[in-house]
Amino acid sequence: MWRARAAAVCVVCQSLANSSYGVKGKSPLQKLHLVSRSIHHPHYTSSKFQRPPLRTSIQQFSSLNHLPLRKTKLLSVKYGYLSHRNFWVARLASRLLKLRYLVLGSAVGGGYTAKKTYDQWKEMLPDLSDYKWIVPDFIWELDEHIDFEKLSKALPDAEDFAKLLPDFDKIGESLSSLKGFFSPDSQGETAFRATDQGYENDKQYKKVSDKEKIDQLQEELLHTQLKYQRILERLEKENKELRKLVLQKDDKGIHQRKLKKSLIDMYSEVLDILSDYDASYNTQDHLPRVVVVGDQSAGKTSVLEMIAQARIFPRGSGEMMTRSPVKVTLSEGPHHVALFKDSSREFDLTKEEDLAALRNEIEIRMRKSVKEGCTVSAETISLNVKGPGLQRMVLVDLPGVISTVTSGMAPDTKDTIFSISKAYMQNPNAIILCIQDGSVDAERSIVTDLVSQMDPHGKRTIFVLTKVDLAERNVASPNRIQQIIEGKLFPMKALGYFAVVTGKGNSSESIESIKDYEEEFFQNSKLLKTCMLKAHQVTTRNLSLAVSDCFWKMVRESVEQQADAFKATRFNLETEWKNNYPRLRELDRNELFEKAKNEILDEVISLSQVTPKHWEEILQKTLWERVSTHVIENIYLPAAQTTNSGTFNTTVDIKLKQWTDKQLPNKAVEVAWETLQEEFSHFMTEKKGKEHDDIFDKLKQAVKEESIKRHKWNERAEDSLRVIQHNALEDRSISDKQQWDAAIHFMEDTLQSRLKDTESVIEDMVGPDWKKRWLYWVGRTKEQNIRNETKNELEKMIKCNEDHAAYLANDEVTTVRKNLEAKGVAVDPCLIKDTWHQVYRRHFLRTALSHCNLCRRGFYYYQRHFVDSELECNDVVLFWRIQRMLAITANTLRQQLTNTEVRRLEKNVKEVLEDFAEDSDKKVKLLTGKRVQLAEDLKKVREIQEKLEAFIEALHQEK
């Protein structure tokens, strides 16, 4: 047996050979180095250490390694002493024999006890074969620098070691002869009795039951692990404070160097870009992240908060709080803060008011992301959490899996949550953190079946059992907890199993109090004392360390493959662009928007370059077209029915005053606003030849409509304009012959235009005349024949009385109807009046035109106020007043346009463009087409590839 284990326990035996029995010493297992424990592991049978095929690069401390064991005390043996006698020869001999016996006996007994203790401890050690990847790389590389086989050969073998031991048979004979030499009542007998008594005590110590030893050793092991855990936490806390001071000094610029962006921040940026990238070229996002899944209210949020060391998520009692995925990027920093990807505000996680504001902001963002009629959303909220001592990783908290859709939820809520969870878990490089509530029956779990479907072999799943304190208190058989942690109860497989405690259920508990409660619970838990749970499988700290190690291992294994995939995608996109748009620059949506923005602002500036003459001509023409009907129908025709010039002027003044007070200023402002819109639209939609890019048409149209919608004319413009127009219409003095001729021309053009319109209306009423009927072979309808007969009858009445009034009397209507009935034409009185209106208008306009020709030479009589003259040209004065009012109004509106309204419109356009620039959805809607999408994909792929390459370079440098 010694030969079989000579190479393994040689170091232990040699160290114990020189120690005395009853003196304090270390336990044999405590003297074994980590390498020695690995060598003695039952999975490594040969003395030559074999390197496992799976390599990993992690921190020197791993949560899955055993902590060093505490020193154990061996029971000491008390020895008696001989009384003082005068037999100095016998006393000297007995003492020499006693000393030799003690030395030799201790060597033999110590070696046997060491071997037996070593066997017991070796059987108690856990099986670490599943966690070989946790051992740091430098451990595996020790065999390259130290030849253990050569070292074992250099040590003496078992036979040589046995030669060094004394001959116990000869020792026994010597003791017997020495005992017979002395008398029974001598001091020597007392000495031998004392020696024999010590020997009997040693035998009695060896008869202690194995169960008591195991219990004692387990208790000591547990206390030792907790002790070193506290020491480790204290050292890490000191390290955290030192790193915080260093980072604060860097922030203040003491070292005069710029801090580089951390690895995890670089990696998080890549994930943010990928979340916005439309993978239309089959380049899927397979970059690792930690996906946190679990049943509703299983404790997912609490586990994340313990890892982030802050209560950052909204909390509810049994209701669904996580309504959309939340990506949390953990990184180290001097201050414990949190900030969103699209915001610059930092939330101080050490202040309760900032924590409340952060929770409220997360809840608001979740509700905004949920569309109407839905309960959950697939839109991701990105949050960065920095703080000293945080483990670097990226976690995604998903909505909790539910089994039943309750009232108030959308009918598809359950299926939506399943689809979101599967979309994240189907990533072959995603680490699945499966959260299971330990306080409920395991058979009620839904998420375990879902996880086992996505990762059947458990190569990237870490199982976490929460609320272990409640489970230990309520579960009748604690063995179920052991079965869960050992992976024997669920059909799913996992890379590792952990048990955690996330507080007492009080949402106001601090992270520190939860940590203290968790440590106190596991320190007193029977699950650890009875070895149902192992020390490296408990506490959220060990969990976060293990998850971080797995995360970075997965990142190192997959990131280069992803970079190569995006490199190939970039080549395909660049080739497609060269083939389709060889002469165009690759402008993405933002760059195209900036180009369109500059063009629109240039076109708005062009409004200020319009000449005053052009403005006034357009305004005067448009305003007269808008008010001419009112002037002819409501002012000129009623006034012309008067019998003398005084009544004519009085009627005109009254009508003009009423018109100016109520309608004219408002009409003028409407005309000016419409003119500004037309000119603005003209510049916006004007084609610019070959340089015109129709990709901007939708954007320009939207900007034009929104700017016009926001623009409001100055409300005080109507009041000032009303005064100006009233003063212009009150002036009747025509200063020279040129103005008189201009008024005659204006009146003649107006009357001719009205006469032409009236004749067109009459023609539509009575149908084509005989020439058109013969030339175009068209005829009249029955109604047109009736109207034609009525027109002819009314024209006879006007010929008989050319000064007829504007309205027919009732007896005249009856006369016309009877005359038509005599001809066999039945006609309605309303039709007679309607026809009369157009016939009389034509007669009036023809008469006014002939009078206008007579007034061409009437300026001389006007200067004399038509004294001693039968010619009266008051209608010419009316049209001059109207013409002058139009000119003054156009000039006033032009000044207001160029000085105020154009600038206000330009300001509105800039505001609209700024709003559109911040609205990505608006830009996607207005800037569309294959060219835009191709440029957008090309930009995103280039950015992803460049950031991945920078991240890979930084990752290699960190190694």
**pLDDT averaged over every residue in the chain:** 77
End-to-end CA distance of the chain: 45
Distance, CA of 193 to CA of 778 (rounded, Å): 155
Q: What is the mean pLDDT of residues 783-798?
A: 89
* C-alpha distances out from residue 577 to 355, 587, 594, 930, Å: 48, 11, 21, 10
Cβ–Cβ < 8 Å for 394, 327: yes
pLDDT value, residue 246: 62
User: What are the contacts of 819-826 at 24+ separation with CB within 8 A?
Assistant: 819/793, 820/789, 820/790, 820/793, 823/789, 825/785, 825/786, 825/789, 825/790, 826/786
Angle at 230 between CA 117 and CA 237, to 5 degrees: 145
The neighbouring-strand residues paired with 386 are 331, 337
Residue 3 carries which side chain, given as an amino acid letter? R
Copy the structure tokens of residue 831: 């039709």
Cβ–Cβ < 8 Å for 500, 465: yes
pLDDT value, residue 261: 67
Q: What is the mean pLDDT of residues 552-579?
A: 89
Is pLDDT of 180 > 60? Answer: no
Q: What is the mean pLDDT of residues 229-253?
A: 62
For 868: left if phi > 0, alpha if psi spans -120 to 50, otherwise beta; the answer is left
Residue 32 carries which side chain, given as an amino acid letter? L
Distance, CA of 97 to CA of 192 (rounded, Å): 10
pLDDT value, residue 658: 92
Is 435 strand, coil or helix? strand
Cβ atoms < 10 Å from Cβ of 930: 10
pLDDT value, residue 530: 77
pLDDT digits (tens, 9 = 90+) for 444-454: 778 888 898 88
Picking from 497, 616, 473, the residue whose alpha carbon sits closest to that of residue 546 is 497
Distance, CA of 947 to CA of 823 (rounded, Å): 97
Copy the structure tokens of residue 323: 């309504």
Dihedral pair phi/psi, residue 115, rounded to 5°: -65, -45
Picking from 803, 804, 831, the residue whose alpha carbon sits closest to that of residue 817 is 831
Q: Where are the alpha helices (DSSP H) in 475-539?
A: 479-485, 511-524, 526-529
* Element housing 229 (H / E): helix 210-251
pLDDT value, residue 2: 38
The neighbouring-strand residues paired with 294 are 435
The neighbouring-strand residues paired with 437 are 466
Q: Give me the DSSP letters along 749-764.
A: HHHHHHHHHHHHHHHH
Distance, CA of 209 to CA of 709 (rounded, Å): 94
pLDDT value, residue 391: 87
pLDDT digits (tens, 9 = 90+) for 916-947: 988 888 888 888 888 888 988 888 888 888 88
Cβ–Cβ < 8 Å for 274, 944: yes
pLDDT grade, residue 323 (50/70/90)? Answer: confident
Cβ–Cβ < 8 Å for 647, 868: no
Distance, CA of 134 to CA of 462 (rounded, Å): 14
pLDDT digits (tens, 9 = 90+) for 186-233: 444 433 343 444 444 444 444 456 667 776 776 777 677 667 766 776
DSSP E strand stretches across 305-430: 326-331, 337-340, 347-348, 381-386, 393-397
pLDDT digits (tens, 9 = 90+) for 532-541: 788 888 888 8
Is pLDDT of 885 > 90? Answer: yes
Least confident of 96-100, 199-203, 213-217, 436-440: 199-203
Picking from 330, 340, 326, the residue whose alpha carbon sits closest to that of residue 309 is 330
Is 290 strand, coil or helix? strand
* C-alpha distances out from residue 629 to 465, 607, 624, 639, 757, Å: 86, 31, 9, 15, 11
pLDDT grade, residue 82 (50/70/90)? Answer: very low
pLDDT grade, residue 69 (50/70/90)? Answer: very low
pLDDT digits (tens, 9 = 90+) for 472-499: 877 656 778 888 888 887 777 888 899 9
CB within 8 A of 673, min separation 6: which ones?
713, 901
Least confident of 43-52, 78-87, 778-787: 43-52
Distance, CA of 158 to CA of 164 (rounded, Å): 10
pLDDT value, residue 79: 40
Is pLDDT of 830 > 80? Answer: yes
Is pLDDT of 15 > 50? Answer: no
pTM, rounded to two decimals:
0.54
Q: What is the mean pLDDT of residues 628-653?
A: 88
The neighbouring-strand residues paired with 829 are none
pLDDT value, residue 146: 61
* C-alpha distances out from residue 813 to 137, 431, 701, 807, Å: 117, 98, 56, 10
Angle at 782 between CA 778 and CA 788, to 5 degrees: 85
pLDDT digits (tens, 9 = 90+) for 831-866: 999 999 999 999 999 999 998 888 888 787 777 766
Q: What share of the chain is helix, strand, coil (3-state, %, to 5)?
A: 65, 5, 30
pLDDT value, residue 71: 39
Looking at the chain, the whole-number percentage of residues with pLDDT higher than 90 is 15
Task: Please indicate whether residue 232 or residue 369 has the higher confidence score (pLDDT).
Answer: 369
Is pLDDT of 823 > 90? Answer: no
Distance, CA of 24 to CA of 27 (rounded, Å): 10
* Element housing 292 (H / E): strand 290-294
Q: What is the mean pLDDT of residues 752-771?
A: 89
DSSP state of 633: I
Copy the structure tokens of residue 709: 């919608």
DSSP state of 392: P
Strand 381-386 to 326-331 pairing? parallel
pLDDT value, residue 345: 87
Strand 393-397 to 381-386 pairing? unpaired
Distance, CA of 790 to CA of 776 (rounded, Å): 24
pLDDT value, residue 621: 93
Ranges 169-178, 312-321, 417-426, most confident: 417-426
Copy the structure tokens of residue 791: 């027109």
Q: What is the mean pLDDT of residues 728-755?
A: 90
DSSP state of 84: P
Copy the structure tokens of residue 866: 């038509």
Cβ–Cβ < 8 Å for 699, 595: no
pLDDT digits (tens, 9 = 90+) for 570-617: 899 899 999 998 888 888 888 899 988 888 888 888 888 888 999 999
Strand 393-397 to 326-331 pairing? antiparallel
CB within 8 A of 72, min separation 6: which ones?
26, 27, 30, 217, 220
Q: Tokens 């990238």, residue? A: 277
Is 151 strand, coil or helix? helix
Strand order in the sheet with 326-331: 347-348, 337-340, 381-386, 326-331, 393-397, 290-294, 431-437, 461-466, 496-499
Distance, CA of 483 to CA of 485 (rounded, Å): 6
Q: Give me the DSSP letters along 911-958.
A: HHHHHHHH-HHHHHHHS-SHHHHHHHHHHHHHHHHHHHHHHHHHHHHH
Is 436 strand, coil or helix? strand
Copy the structure tokens of residue 913: 């463009």
CB within 8 A of 15, min separation 6: which ones?
31
Ranges 43-57, 156-170, 354-368, 704-718, most confident: 354-368
Ranges 265-269, 487-491, 622-626, most confident: 622-626
Distance, CA of 265 to CA of 329 (rounded, Å): 8
Dihedral pair phi/psi, residue 292, rounded to 5°: -95, 115
Distance, CA of 758 to CA of 916 (rounded, Å): 50
Q: What is the mean pLDDT of residues 421-438?
A: 89
> Is the alpha carbon torsion for 685, 691, 697, 700 positive or negative?
negative
